[in-house]
Amino acid sequence: MSVERQTVDFYEEDSKLYDSSRFQDRKGLQIDVVQQSIVSDLCGDVKSKKVLELAVGTGRFTKTMLGKGADLVGVDTSISMLRITRKKISKSVSAKSSLIRADATKLPFKENVFDYVLSINALNHMPNYSDAITASSRVLKSNGFFVFNFPSAASIFLPIALLVNAREKSVIRPVFSKWYNPKQVFNTLFKNRFNLETVEGHIPIGFAQLAIDKLFRKSFFRLFSGVLFIKAKKS
Q: What digits encode the pLDDT tens for the residues 110-153? A: 999 999 999 999 999 999 999 999 999 999 999 999 999 999 99
8 A C-beta contact, residue 77 and residue 105: no
Nearest to 231 by CA among 197, 204, 206: 197
**What's the pLDDT tens digit per position in 180-234?**
999 999 999 999 999 999 999 998 876 656 777 778 899 999 999 999 999 999 9
**Mean pLDDT over the full length of the chain:** 92
- pTM value is 0.95
Beta strands at 227-234 and 140-151: parallel, antiparallel or unpaired: antiparallel
C-alpha to C-alpha distance for 228 and 90, rounded to whole angstroms: 31
Alpha-carbon torsion (188, 190, 195, 199), positive or negative: positive
Q: How confident is the model over 74-85, as a mean pLDDT?
A: 96
Place 157 in a pLDDT band, splitting at 50, 70 and 90.
very high
C-alpha to C-alpha distance for 229 and 82, rounded to whole angstroms: 24
pLDDT greater than 90 at residue 31:
no
Long-range contact list for 23-30, CB < 8 A, 24+ apart?
A: 23/60, 26/206, 27/205, 27/206, 27/207, 27/209, 28/206, 30/206, 30/209, 30/210
Per-residue pLDDT at 44: 96
